[in-house]
Amino acid sequence: MKRQLEINENVRAVLVDWILKVHSKFRLLTETLFVIVNIIDRFLSIQRIKRDEIQLIGAAAMLIATKYEEIYPPTVNDFIHVTQKRFTRE
């Protein structure tokens, strides 16, 4: 988090709260949640991002983690839906 200019611990906490809600909605494994947060933390430690990209980072981490951990991972369209169509497939 020291590398981030626009993101602080409070913004990360809001992102993790959102991830918990989506995690519960999709009924994902507990291990998937740990992988999601790990991916986010590792990414934020090496790459600076803008504040408006934080939800996209969370959705991307969730997509990667579910493909690794889940038997039936949610689709990209599911993630577009949970972000309230704020982001496109591209």
**Domain harbouring 50, CATH code:** 1.10.472.10
- pLDDT at residue number 82: 86
Task: Give the torsion sign (CA, 50, 42, 63, 16).
Answer: negative
DSSP strand E in 1-90: where?
A: none
Is pLDDT above 80 for 3?
Answer: no
Residue 90, domain member (yes or no) = no
Query: Containing domain of residue 13, as a range?
Result: 9-82
**69 is a domain residue:** yes
Mean pLDDT lowest among 15-19, 36-40, 52-56, 85-89: 85-89
What span, in angstroms and rounded, lies between the C-alpha atoms of 36 and 16? 9
- Is residue 89 included in any domain, yes or no? no
In a domain, 54, yes or no: yes
Our count of domains for the chain comes to 1
Q: Is residue 39 part of a domain?
A: yes
- And the tokens for 40? 């986010």
Domain membership of residue 64 (yes or no) is yes
Cα separation, 65 vs 70, in Å, equals 8
Pick the residue with more confidence: 78 or 19?
Answer: 19
